[in-house]
Amino acid sequence: MKKLILLAILLMGIGQVHAQELTNLQRKELQSREDSLKIYADSMINALSPGKRFLSDSNFVRMLVRSLRIPHSFYYPFDSLQSISRIYAPDSSFRIFTWQLKKDEYFYYQKGAIQMRTPDGSLRLYPLFDASMFTAKPLDSVRSRNNWIGAIYYKIIQKTWQGKNYYTLLGFDGYTVGSNRKWMEVLTFNDKTGEPQFGGPFFNLKHDTSSKQQVLNRFVIEYKKEASTTFNYNSELDMVIVDHLISETEEPHRPETYIPDGDFEGFQWKQGIWVHVPKVFTEVPDEFKKVDPFLGNAPTDDAIRDKDGSINEKKLEERSRKNIEKAAEKEKPKPKKPGGGQQ
């Protein structure tokens, strides 16, 4: 009897899996729409005129929503949309689409949406509206999807505390013409409404020069546009690893001058809070000596501080020179296509 019950449960589970799979017709329809989405996604990033970029974004959003209305679209990966971040929560309860829209050389809008997994495959979507341009104190606020602090998310870390799920988001923001930002904040969902909530008192920060601790609703680093920075989760250490930054021009009030100095900070999840670790390593492990082109893990041979913690002025000067050269390279005119257009 027990074997029959077990067999029935297994068959029920298999039936539910097949019910969630896309049919061939649905998959073909999504593939066809993905081809159009890819064109719009490329145009909203690379079109020369702001008007063309904004029009492409509008078309992209409408086409994406229509595509996601196809039953069980949650399981379709949209792999060809390389300029659009698409990441699933570790428990596959939702996924987040995020991208950026360039207004001009000085400003980017962040765009996004959260698609929830539903038992019947119907669409449950929460659009995200970037309000970061309207806030002077983004670290001190808890936010809804209507006043989201925009970012291009590249990692979701799932943690639990007292039976509740907490999803920590790591994201990138091409903030200004002179600096980038990387964000870390906790996403939760309202138990009654299901609405997403961004931020909360989840970050216990300890500063270098003080024993005092500060509780923040989200954490951010801002750094020089041409600099490479580490900001990612290490599963072996169960810790978020972050480059320690200093001003290369000794102007701490100017974030656009900040670069890594070779040390690493971190955050550990303890009793429902990310606790700041001011110094993670006494010696940097081998995996952090490799360069990651997306997350920017700087080689330790290029560290600005020596083992005693003193700044090597020669290496600091060399790093600054390389950053200047990198910026100058970006400013060079792009080669023209035959017929007068730019590539």
What pTM was computed for the model?
A: 0.78
Work out the average pLDDT over 113-118.
98
Task: Return the minimum-mean-pLDDT range out of 90-94, 108-112, 222-226, 243-247.
Answer: 108-112
Q: H/E/C letters for each residue in 209-269?
A: CCCCEEEECCEEEEEECCCCCCEEEECCCCEEEEEEEEECCCCCCCHHHEEEEEEEEEEEE
Which residues are CB-contacts of 159 (< 8 A; sequence separation ≥ 6)? Answer: 165, 166, 167, 168, 269
Confidence of residue 152 (pLDDT cuts 50, 70, 90): very high
pLDDT at 216 over 80: yes
Identify the pLDDT of residue 295. 41
> What one-character DSSP code corresponds to residue 342?
B
pLDDT tens, 93-103? 999 999 998 87
Q: Which two tokens stand for residue 326?
A: 């990198």
Query: To the nearest whole number, what is the mean pLDDT of the chain?
Result: 82
CB of 174 closer than 8 Å to CB of 224: no
Q: Which two tokens stand for residue 100?
A: 């950026």
Work out the average pLDDT over 255-272.
94
pLDDT at 55 over 50: yes
pLDDT at 292 over 50: no
d(CA 319, CA 322): 5
Task: Return the minimum-mean-pLDDT range out of 2-16, 200-214, 313-327.
Answer: 2-16
Of residues 317 and 274, which shows the higher confidence score? 274
Work out the average pLDDT over 123-150.
92
Confidence of residue 138 (pLDDT cuts 50, 70, 90): confident
Identify the pLDDT of residue 336. 46
pLDDT tens, 227-253? 999 999 999 999 999 999 999 999 999
Percent of the chain whose predicted confidence (pLDDT) is above 70: 75
- The DSSP string of 321-332 is HHHHHHHHHHHS
Confidence of residue 106 (pLDDT cuts 50, 70, 90): confident
Task: Return the minimum-mean-pLDDT range out of 16-25, 122-131, 229-238, 264-273.
Answer: 16-25
Confidence of residue 54 (pLDDT cuts 50, 70, 90): very high
Identify the helix (H) or strand (E) that includes residue 160. strand 152-161
